[in-house]
């Protein structure tokens, strides 16, 4: 398992999520994880279900979708390398607020939410680091959602550079 | 014709003023000068000294302008009215281009030539107005592109300046360093006294013209009376604008609560920009005949206070009076410096007089200055050099 | 940042007669108009740099400012990509190929391609904001070895709104990484969903301090794209954006397009980020 952990920590090191983590911190986090490869079309988790793992995307793409009656699965966002998926397991009870579907063959690190929470409790330094990174990921997600909400291209329609209106 | 007088400064008797107007007209100039129309002293074509507002003056206050009889026969005994000379150099309506539909498609033209350009002689240009003309010179002729209409009219113009001998309560040219004395940018400059005019030539054209006039050598006494008359204007100026660091003050206070305050009073009526001798905003509109085959592109004065002035892609950028007043004042007193190396304000006070709600830009600036720093936009605002 | 002044400085109001040589329907409501000069002498003199714009004139209807979206090396036609938005653009859309109209220009500042030699380049575009950046892409492709890694990040509202899709393969083959994203996925869209900033967030940057960002799109998009870039370690002086304001005269004489200390027509449309950083998020400026 040693080599497995090392491989995981190496993968983790490459992600923006773990940018700046010390060797020891990487090892600690990697011990809570497993490597997860998922082919295109795989559903990582489903909206409404309780999930006990949090994913860090190393490569590939994952789409987040919400199911709306009569509209089907509405694709809200695709996430890529370095990003966090399924963070409800870190901040709440792990009930997923969206479904995650792999849209391009993905390599992920699946981290046990329970183990991560344990890690945070027992090592506050590392816990602070992990929660700061999680908060950053969430705030980036929030900003992106706001920008989508602004529907910029619709609002400024017709928009262009310069003044392609009139 | 008189004996040539070997001096830059001469004297013209009061009853001989017509000889100046006649000489200018004789050289093909259309003489425009102050005259009374609809209860105001405006600039319009004049043919003799009788057209001047002899014996009249203006009583100005914020939001107030009235003509008043003087107790003498002064020809230039007023300050400034609603007009400025920009209406002649940068006409309120001008055709900048034209298009004619032919069998081979549209033929594009830019009408106008030196030959059909009006040759104006301005009579009665004040110190602040000379400064205003020099500012518009920079706007229309000092950049990468020259406006042909302005440039041709400007080239052709003859300027007879008149030194102020009195000031209005709205004047603050001393703060802007533009007057009241006429310093440069004229062909001739007059100072009116009770007996006549002390005339100074400021150009070769001015000196040549003086040779045709029945002028006499100026006496020490006449010079002293003229100097005293000019000093009277200086002494009468009470309004002040503190220009120290003014550009930065305004640019760093774009979110100052004073903008909300002035927006409560401002009607966005555009009066200040219409009477301002330096404001140059315009819009080009298409004017075509019924066939649609003959099209003129007409430039009209516009104003940053007009709501659709900043219209862009289905939206208005400056959609509040607060943002429009802020645009006007920060440009006039601030960013104008960045663009043209000078303030856009000459301290003539017209915007104060002609504001229907008595908004006084000097008071607005003072209010911002009094509480500046409490509402600075962001720390980075001062670090970024334009 | 000075443009090449093909427009005669002494007679800046004079429009050139041009013909709509070809109309390329790009997306619903957006077409590229390839314009050719009636007078070949004028056409031969006409030169522009990426980022510059022209005033397109329909006599009787008015002028519109439109960025040139073509290859600066080709001067036989001058392409402009235009969305139908109002009176003039609708009338333009109604014209047939071969119709004669007017054109003034080119005007304005240029993208800083001359400062990109040996550096990595990120082009971030939103919506029709790709049009003013396409000349940069052509410039880079023509001399690809001159630059480091080049990435185009392009966001649109819907997949059907993505411009120039038929060219992406050629751009990729020429050594430009093209990444697209949409705000709202349509049925068959298998690509990225989300705003352009998230593409930048996940981009791997080999040497951020040697990377230049050029961005064009809605102001809000540009601002957050720039913030994401600065967050990733780009230097503020390596960031450029193309501003939009109401351009009426195009020669800095009418006041309409003022933005802070600049007239966007004359000092812009391409501006260094640092020049406008302090005022970009000031409301109603």
Residue ranges of alpha helices (H) inside B254-299 are 257-265, 271-275
**Residue C7: per-residue pLDDT:** 66
Answer for the pair C195, C182: CB distance below 8 angstroms, yes or no: no
C23 to chain A, closest Cα gap in Å: 16
> How far is Cα of residue A92 from the mean position of the Cα atoms in its chain?
15
- The pTM is what? 0.91
Question: How far apart, in Å, are the Cα atoms of C110 and each of B318, B340, C68, C120, C125?
Answer: 27, 22, 11, 18, 16
Please tell me the least confidently modeled range out of A137-146, B79-88, B349-358, C235-244.
A137-146
Inter-chain contacts counted by CB atoms under 8 A, chains A and C: 154
Q: Could you tell me the pLDDT band of residue B320, with boundaries at 50, 70 and 90? A: very high
User: What residues are paired with B61 via a beta bridge?
Assistant: B64
**Residue A3: per-residue pLDDT:** 65
Rounded distance, CA B212 to CA B240, Å?
Answer: 42
Judged by CB atoms closer than 8 Å, whether chains meet at A164 and C65 is answered as yes
User: What residues are paired with A108 via a beta bridge?
Assistant: A36, A57
Rounded distance, CA B49 to CA C169, Å?
Answer: 79
Q: Which residues of C touch A19 (CB under 8 A)?
A: none
Rounded distance, CA B75 to CA B66, Å?
Answer: 17
Evaluate if residue B380 carries a pLDDT over 70: no
Q: Which residues of B touch A162 (CB under 8 A)?
A: none
Q: What is the mean pLDDT of residues A88-116?
A: 92
Q: Which residues of C touch A161 (CB under 8 A)?
A: 53, 67, 128-129, 131-132, 216-217, 242-244, 269
Instruction: State residue A60 phi and psi, 5-degree precision.
Output: 85, -175
Evaluate if residue A93 carries a pLDDT over 90: no
Q: Could you tell me the pLDDT band of residue B376, with boundaries at 50, 70 and 90? A: very low
C29 touches chain A (CB under 8 A): yes
Tell me how far apart the terminal alpha carbons of chain B are, to the nearest angstrom.
56
Q: Which residues of B touch A165 (CB under 8 A)?
A: 312-314
Judged by CB atoms closer than 8 Å, whether chains meet at C128 and A80 is answered as no
Q: What is the mean pLDDT of residues C48-52?
A: 96
The subunits that touch chain C, with at least 3 C-beta pairs less than 8 Å apart, are A, B
Q: What is the mean pLDDT of residues C57-72?
A: 96
Q: Residue B18, preceding bond cis, omega within 30 degrees?
A: no
Judged by CB atoms closer than 8 Å, whether chains meet at A147 and C216 is answered as no
Tell me how far apart the terminal alpha carbons of chain C are, to the nearest angstrom.
23
Answer for the pair A93, A52: CB distance below 8 angstroms, yes or no: no
- Pick among B98, B102, B108, B141 to test the C interface (most C CBs inside 10 A): B108
Which residues are CB-neighbours of A58 under 8 A, at least 6 positions away?
Answer: A11, A14, A15, A81, A106, A107, A108, A109
Q: Which of C85, C129, C190 sits opposite A166 (nearest CB)?
A: C85
Answer for the pair C265, C249: CB distance below 8 angstroms, yes or no: yes
Residues 118-157 of A with CB under 8 A from B: 156-157
Q: Which residues of A touch B316 (CB under 8 A)?
A: none
Judged by CB atoms closer than 8 Å, whether chains meet at C157 and A154 is answered as yes
Is residue A29 within a helix (H) or strand (E), and if so which, with residue range? helix A23-30
Residue B364: which region, alpha, beta or left (left: phi > 0; alpha: psi -120 to 50)?
A: alpha
State chain B's maximal CA–CA distance in angstroms: 73
User: What residues are paired with A110 via a beta bridge?
Assistant: A34, A55
Judged by CB atoms closer than 8 Å, whether chains meet at B284 and C63 is answered as yes
Judged by CB atoms closer than 8 Å, whether chains meet at A161 and C202 is answered as no
Torsion sign, CA atoms A55, A85, C149, C181? positive
Tell me how far apart the terminal alpha carbons of chain A are, to the nearest angstrom.
66
Answer for the pair C119, C147: CB distance below 8 angstroms, yes or no: yes
Q: Which long-range contacts (CB under 8 A, 24 or more apart) does B369-373 make?
A: B369/B242, B369/B249, B371/B256, B371/B257, B371/B258, B372/B249, B372/B252, B372/B253, B372/B256
Question: Judging by DSSP bridges, how do beta strands C192-193 and C62-67 pair with one another?
Answer: unpaired
Better pLDDT: C162 or A93 = C162
- Pick among A98, A156, A161 to test the C interface (most C CBs inside 10 A): A161
Q: How many CB atoms lie within 10 A of CB B208?
A: 12
C223 touches chain B (CB under 8 A): no
Q: What is the mean pLDDT of residues B5-16?
A: 84
Rounded distance, CA B58 to CA A162, Å?
Answer: 47
Inter-chain contacts counted by CB atoms under 8 A, chains B and C: 152
Among A37, A39, A12, smallest CA distance to A27 is for A12
B281 to chain A, closest Cα gap in Å: 18
Q: Could you tell me the pLDDT band of residue C3, with boundaries at 50, 70 and 90? A: very low
Q: Which residues of C touch A78 (CB under 8 A)?
A: 181, 191-194
Residues C183-212 pLDDT 10s: 999 878 989 999 999 999 889 899 999 999
Judged by CB atoms closer than 8 Å, whether chains meet at B327 and C285 is answered as yes
Rounded distance, CA B379 to CA B181, Å?
Answer: 41
Q: What is the mean pLDDT of residues A26-53?
A: 94
Judged by CB atoms closer than 8 Å, whether chains meet at C197 and A83 is answered as no
B286 touches chain A (CB under 8 A): no
DSSP tally for chain C: helices H, then strands E: 7, 15
Torsion sign, CA atoms B17, B22, B24, B29? positive
Question: How far apart, in Å, are the Cα atoms of B294 and each of A7, A26, B135, B197?
Answer: 77, 76, 35, 51
Q: What is the mean pLDDT of residues C112-123?
A: 96
Evaluate if residue C181 carries a pLDDT over 80: yes
**Minimum Cα–Cα distance from B317: chain A residue:** A156
C185 touches chain A (CB under 8 A): yes
C10 touches chain B (CB under 8 A): yes
Q: Which long-range contacts (CB under 8 A, 24 or more apart) does C278-282 make?
A: C278/B377, C278/B378, C278/B380, C278/B381, C278/B382, C278/B383, C278/B384, C279/B254, C279/B377, C279/B381, C280/C219, C280/C222, C280/C223, C281/C223, C282/B254, C282/B255, C282/B377
Judged by CB atoms closer than 8 Å, whether chains meet at A161 and C131 is answered as yes
Evaluate if residue A156 carries a pLDDT over 50: no
Q: Which residues of B touch C101 (CB under 8 A)?
A: 106
**Residue A19: per-residue pLDDT:** 86
Answer for the pair C17, B108: CB distance below 8 angstroms, yes or no: yes
Please tell me the least confidently modeled range out of B72-86, B308-322, C19-33.
B308-322
A95 to chain C, closest Cα gap in Å: 23
C80 touches chain B (CB under 8 A): no
User: What residues are paired with C35 via a beta bridge?
Assistant: C20, C78
User: What residues are paired with C66 via a beta bridge?
Assistant: C54
Judged by CB atoms closer than 8 Å, whether chains meet at A78 and C82 is answered as no
ipTM of the complex, rounded to two decimals: 0.92
Rounded distance, CA C195 to CA A98, Å?
Answer: 18
**Residue B4: per-residue pLDDT:** 47
Is residue C168 within a helix (H) or strand (E), and if so which, with residue range? helix C168-173
Judged by CB atoms closer than 8 Å, whether chains meet at C83 and A80 is answered as no
Residues 235-264 of C with CB under 8 A from A: 242-247, 257, 264
Q: What is the mean pLDDT of residues C132-136?
A: 98
Q: What is the mean pLDDT of residues C77-104?
A: 94
**Residue C55: per-residue pLDDT:** 97
The subunits that touch chain A, with at least 3 C-beta pairs less than 8 Å apart, are B, C
Token pair belonging to C97: 């190929």
Is residue B89 within a helix (H) or strand (E), and if so which, with residue range? helix B86-89
**Residue B313: per-residue pLDDT:** 76
Q: Which of B107, B312, B383 sits opposite C245 (nearest CB)?
A: B312
Q: Residue B180, preceding bond cis, omega within 30 degrees?
A: yes
**Residue B1: per-residue pLDDT:** 41
Q: Could you tell me the pLDDT band of residue A2, with boundaries at 50, 70 and 90? A: low
A141 to chain C, closest Cα gap in Å: 8
C53 touches chain A (CB under 8 A): yes
Rounded distance, CA C106 to CA A160, Å?
Answer: 17
Q: Which residues of A touch C66 (CB under 8 A)?
A: 160, 162-164
**Residue C6: per-residue pLDDT:** 55
Residues B204-253 pLDDT 10s: 999 999 999 999 999 999 999 999 999 999 999 999 999 999 999 999 99
Among B379, B380, A162, smallest CA distance to C275 is for B380
Answer for the pair B169, B61: CB distance below 8 angstroms, yes or no: yes
Q: Which residues of A touch B312 (CB under 8 A)?
A: 163, 165
**Residue B386: per-residue pLDDT:** 41
Rounded distance, CA B301 to CA B93, Å?
Answer: 7
Judged by CB atoms closer than 8 Å, whether chains meet at C100 and B386 is answered as no
Which residues are CB-neighbours of C270 under 8 A, at least 6 positions away?
Answer: C1, C51, C108, C109, C110, C111, C112, C214, C240, C241, C242
Instruction: State residue A162 phi and psi, 5-degree precision.
Output: -95, 145
Judged by CB atoms closer than 8 Å, whether chains meet at B314 and A156 is answered as yes
C205 touches chain B (CB under 8 A): no
Q: Which residues of B touch C251 (CB under 8 A)?
A: 144-145, 147
Q: Which residues of A touch C53 (CB under 8 A)?
A: 161-162
Answer for the pair B367, B258: CB distance below 8 angstroms, yes or no: yes
Tell me what the pLDDT averaged over chain B comes to: 93
Instruction: State residue B162 phi and psi, 5-degree precision.
Output: -130, 120
Q: What is the mean pLDDT of residues A140-160?
A: 76
């Amino acid at each position: 398992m040693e080599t497995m952990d090392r491989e995981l920590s190496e993968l983790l090191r490459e992600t923006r999520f773990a940018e700046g983590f010390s060797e020891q911190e990487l090892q600690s986090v990697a011990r809570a994880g497993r490597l997860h490869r998922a082919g295109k079309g795989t559903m990582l988790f489903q909206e409404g279900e309780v999930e006990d793992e949090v994913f860090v995307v190393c490569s590939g793409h994952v789409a987040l979708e919400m199911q709306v009656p009569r509209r089907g699965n509405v694709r809200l966002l695709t996430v890529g390398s370095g990003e966090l998926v399924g963070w409800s397991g870190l901040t709440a009870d792990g009930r997923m607020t969206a479904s995650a579907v792999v849209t391009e063959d993905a390599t992920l690190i699946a981290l046990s939410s329970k183990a991560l929470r344990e890690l945070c409790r027992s090592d506050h330094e590392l816990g602070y680091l992990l929660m700061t990174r999680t908060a950053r990921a969430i705030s980036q997600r929030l900003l992106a959602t706001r920008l989508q909400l602004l529907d910029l291209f619709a609002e400024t329609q017709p928009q262009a550079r310069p003044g392609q209106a009139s | 014709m008189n004996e040539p007088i070997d001096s830059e400064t001469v004297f013209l008797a009061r009853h001989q003023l017509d000889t100046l107007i006649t000489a200018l007209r004789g050289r093909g100039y259309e003489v425009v000068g102050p005259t009374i129309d609809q209860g105001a002293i405006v600039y319009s074509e004049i043919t003799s000294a009788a057209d001047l507002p002899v014996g009249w003056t203006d009583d100005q206050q914020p939001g107030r302008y009235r003509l008043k009889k003087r107790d003498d026969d002064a020809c230039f005994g007023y300050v400034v009215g609603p007009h400025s000379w920009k209406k002649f150099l940068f006409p309120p309506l001008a055709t900048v281009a034209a298009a004619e539909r032919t069998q081979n498609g549209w033929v594009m033209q830019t009408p106008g030539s030196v030959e059909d350009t009006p040759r104006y002689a301005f009579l009665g240009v004040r110190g602040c107005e000379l400064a205003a003309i020099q500012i518009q010179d920079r706007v229309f002729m000092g950049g990468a592109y020259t406006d042909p209409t302005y440039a041709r009219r400007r080239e052709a113009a003859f300027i007879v300046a008149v030194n102020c001998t009195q000031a209005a309560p709205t004047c603050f040219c001393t703060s802007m360093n533009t007057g009241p004395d006429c310093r440069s940018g004229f062909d001739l400059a007059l100072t009116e006294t009770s007996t006549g005019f002390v005339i100074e030539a400021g150009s070769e054209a001015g000196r040549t013209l003086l040779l045709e006039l029945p002028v006499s050598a100026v006496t020490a006494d006449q010079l002293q009376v003229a100097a005293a008359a000019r000093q009277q204007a200086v002494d009468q100026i009470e309004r002040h604008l503190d220009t120290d660091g003014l550009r930065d003050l305004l640019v760093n206070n774009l979110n100052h609560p004073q903008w909300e305050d002035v927006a409560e009073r401002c009607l966005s009526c555009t009066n200040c920009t219409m009477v301002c001798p330096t404001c140059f905003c315009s819009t080009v509109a298409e004017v075509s005949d019924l066939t649609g085959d003959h099209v003129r592109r007409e430039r009209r004065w516009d104003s940053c206070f007009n709501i659709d002035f900043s219209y862009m892609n289905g939206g208005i950028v400056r959609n509040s009076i607060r943002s429009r007043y802020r645009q006007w004042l920060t440009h006039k007193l601030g960013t104008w410096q960045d663009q043209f190396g000078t303030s856009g304000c000459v301290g003539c006070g017209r915007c104060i007089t002609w504001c229907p709600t008595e908004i006084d830009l000097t008071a607005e600036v003072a209010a911002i200055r009094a509480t500046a720093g409490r509402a600075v936009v962001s720390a980075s605002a001062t670090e970024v050099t334009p | 940042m000075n443009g090449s002044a093909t427009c005669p400085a002494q007679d800046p109001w004079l429009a050139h007669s041009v013909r709509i040589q070809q109309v390329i329907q790009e997306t619903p409501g957006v077409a590229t108009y390839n314009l050719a000069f009636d007078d070949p002498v004028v056409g031969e003199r006409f030169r522009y740099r990426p980022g510059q714009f022209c005033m397109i004139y329909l006599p009787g209807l008015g002028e519109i400012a439109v960025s040139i979206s073509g290859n600066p090396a080709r001067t036989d036609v001058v392409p402009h990509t235009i969305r139908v938005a109002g009176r003039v653009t609708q009338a333009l859309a109604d014209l047939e190929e071969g119709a004669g109209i007017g054109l003034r220009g080119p005007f304005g500042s240029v993208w800083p391609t001359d400062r990109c030699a040996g550096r990595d380049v990120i082009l971030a575009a939103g919506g029709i904001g790709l049009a003013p950046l396409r000349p940069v892409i052509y410039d880079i492709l023509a001399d690809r070895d001159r630059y480091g890694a080049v990435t185009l990040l392009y966001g649109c509202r819907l997949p059907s709104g993505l411009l120039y899709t038929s060219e992406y393969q050629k751009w990729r083959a020429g050594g430009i990484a093209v990444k697209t994203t949409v705000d709202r996925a349509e049925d068959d869209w298998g690509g990225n969903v989300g705003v352009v900033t998230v593409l930048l967030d996940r981009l791997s940057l080999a040497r951020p301090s040697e990377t230049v960002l050029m961005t064009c799109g809605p102001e809000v998009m540009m601002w957050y794209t720039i913030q994401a870039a600065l967050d990733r370690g780009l230097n503020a002086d390596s960031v450029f954006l193309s501003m939009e304001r109401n351009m009426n005269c195009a020669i800095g004489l009418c006041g309409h397009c003022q933005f802070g200390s600049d007239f966007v027509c004359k000092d812009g449309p391409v501006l260094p980020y640092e020049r406008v950083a302090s005022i970009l998020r000031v409301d109603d400026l």
